[in-house]
Amino acid sequence: NAGVTQTPKFQVLKTGQSMTLQCAQDMNHNSMYWYRQDPGMGLRLIYYSASEGTTDKGEVPNGYNVSRLNKREFSLRLESAAPSQTSVYFCAVRQGTLNTEAFFGQGTRLTVV
């Protein structure tokens, strides 16, 4: 029972390259989230998916796209990476009913040079 799995764990990109961060869950939860964490900024919400088939923008969506592939998987795509996207990215899941806590993956550390 892995919970929330993110791949890759580490990645170095050159400016302008593209990549997709993957998130998969085996918790059968409905809601999935992508956050980025930068020093002094806390966690900022990029996109979220309240349920399969829906996605919504969070606080900092520019430069990112997402796909809720199915109930288990939620991917985050950087089409043309920029140094400002250097960050640690966390995926989180919630059951989907209100009043429930979120469970987090182990994070992806992305460096754009």
Q: Which residues bind another protein (CB under 8 A)?
A: 31, 33, 35, 40-45, 48, 50, 56, 58-59, 90, 92, 94, 96, 98-107
Closest distance to another protein from the beta carbon of 83 (Å): 22
Q: Which is nearer to another protein, 63 or 96 (CB)?
A: 96
Residues in the chain: 113
Closest distance to another protein from the beta carbon of 15 (Å): 26
Q: Which is nearer to another protein, 92 or 112 (CB)?
A: 92
- Note whether 93 and 24 are within 8 A (CB): no
> Cα Rg for the chain, rounded, in angstroms?
13
Q: Which is nearer to another protein, 87 or 105 (CB)?
A: 105
Using alpha carbons only, what angle is made at residue 48 by residues 42 and 49, rounded to the nearest 5 degrees? 155
Closest distance to another protein from the beta carbon of 43 (Å): 4
- What sign for the dihedral angle of Cα 79, 81, 84, 85? positive
Please count the other Cβ atoms lying within 10 Å of the Cβ belonging to residue 19: 15
Closest distance to another protein from the beta carbon of 16 (Å): 29
Q: Which is nearer to another protein, 81 or 105 (CB)?
A: 105
Sequence letter at residue 84: S
